[in-house]
Amino acid sequence: MTYKPRTLEPLVRRAAGEYPVVTITGPRQSGKTTLCRALFPHKPYVNLEPLDEREYARKDPRGFLAQYPDGAVIDEVQHAPDLASYIQVMVDEDPAPGRFIITGSQHFGISRTISQSLAGRTAVVYLLPLSYEELCLFGTETDDLWQVVFQGAYPVIHGRRLNARRWLDSYLFTYIERDLRQLSQIGDLEAFANFMALAAGRCAQEINLSSLGGDAGVSHNTARAWLSALEASFVVFRLSAWHGNLRKQIMKAPKLHFADSGLTCRLLGIRSADELRLHPLRGSIFETWVAAEIFKHRAHRGETAGMFHFRASRGPEVDLMIRRGLDQIACEVKSSATMDGSFLRPLHKLEELLSGAARADTLIKRLVFAGDQGYRRSGVECISWREIHRNDWM
């Protein structure tokens, strides 16, 4: 499979010129190994996935690292978390920039490793599945929005022209279930598979753990642990509620989104783009696709914070609130290809709600919809799905 450039490349190169260690984290099969081997072809490469390498790194970390006095690319470092302490000693003695490039697929495990051993010595960057902008470079983009959403964005699907549904079946069984079982001591895989499907059915909705756990037949605490495990493996992400220092009662529950729309469709049993086009959850799946696209746009340029949702108890609900410098972007998402004036009302109501508050920031109103041609209407930037990456979300 020919390597295609990723948006994250400039950030990784810059980090490797400033820090002795660069940590690249993200879901399995998002392209971390391919990126590292393309950007650092002259560095030794070792993968801790094989048991022999993993055991060597765990049992004799000094001997393991002695093989790489000038540094290396170390893949899946979460399998040997104590290795970071020994890397710390090496880079303290010789803090040459870009000495070690390490990757990991479990967010919480990597975070603990870095906070305990490599704080101040490493830059942490996130590589997620392909954005639509990157997908176009693979030459597999399509004019059919629902085909794009149905296939999802894992690089191997597009690089090898694979059947998305079959590959995602394998991905669920060989990667997610194994990783999550390790993270959360999950014993009943059937119950967990049902939990994932129920979570997919709640994409783009506020999280109610009691309801989700009740439907899955597990306790509130188990539902919390399982959702955290999904988040740790970059399957889902949460958007906290934005309050904007308003005095009115604001709903504070976070909103749930999936990082890959193809995986969402697979969990919901959707078998084709045509089926998705008519599915009752089409709007929610499209919203989660848009949220993930904006999240990727920001994360691949070094910004992982600053995305929220908004809902007042007796007022407007806005799908996405995005901090851009001193300004706020309020963004509605609609899966219709035909614009309707009612789509803009939540944005105007939010503007009215904010007008009485003393604010130094500017509210930028946007709507992303399923149409092919964007335009401006009533002070709102109406953005076509295919143009989403050409807008500034930073």
Per-residue pLDDT of 220-273, as tens digits, reads 999 998 998 899 889 999 999 997 666 555 678 999 999 999 999 999 999 999
Check residue 141 and give its pLDDT.
Answer: 66
- Is 100 a residue whose pLDDT tops 90? yes
- Is 282 a residue whose pLDDT tops 90? yes
> pLDDT tens digits, residue range 18-51?
999 999 999 999 999 999 999 999 999 999 999 9
3-state secondary structure the chain: CCCCCCCCHHHHHHHHCCCCEEEEECCCCCCHHHHHHHHCCCCCEEECCCHHHHHHHHHCHHHHHHCCCCCCEEECHHHCCCHHHHHHHHHHHCCCCCCEEEEECCHHHHHHHHHHHHCCCEEEEECCCCCHHHHHHCCCCCCCHHHHHHHCCCHHHHHCCCCHHHHHHHHHHHHHHHHHHHHHCCCCHHHHHHHHHHHHCCCCEECCHHHHHHHHCCCHHHHHHHHHHHHHCCCEEEEEECCCCCCCCECCCCEEEECCHHHHHHHCCCCCHHHHHCCCCHHHHHHHHHHHHHHHHHHCCCCCCCEEEEEECCCCEEEEEEEECCEEEEEEEECCCCCCHHHHHHHHHHHHHHHCCCCCCCEEEEEEECCCCCEEECCEEEEEHHHHHHCCCC
Check residue 326 and give its pLDDT.
Answer: 85
> pLDDT tens digits, residue range 151-173?
999 999 999 999 999 999 999 88
**Do 60 and 83 form a contact (C-beta atoms < 8 A)?**
no
- Is 304 a residue whose pLDDT tops 70? yes
Distance, in Å, from the CA atom of 11 to the CA atom of 20, rounded to the nearest integer, reads: 15
Percent residues over pLDDT 90 in the chain = 75
Q: What is the CA radius of gyration of the chain?
A: 22
- Is 379 a residue whose pLDDT tops 60? yes
Between CA 195 and CA 202, with CA 197 as vertex, the angle to 5 degrees is 95
- Is 113 a residue whose pLDDT tops 80? no
Average confidence (pLDDT) over 5-28: 96
Check residue 143 and give its pLDDT.
Answer: 85
- Is 109 a residue whose pLDDT tops 70? no
- Is 108 a residue whose pLDDT tops 60? no
For the chain, give the mean pLDDT. 91
- Is 1 a residue whose pLDDT tops 70? no
Check residue 87 and give its pLDDT.
Answer: 96
The full set of domains in the chain, from first to last, is: 9-126 (3.40.50.300), 132-390 (no CATH)
Average confidence (pLDDT) over 116-137: 92
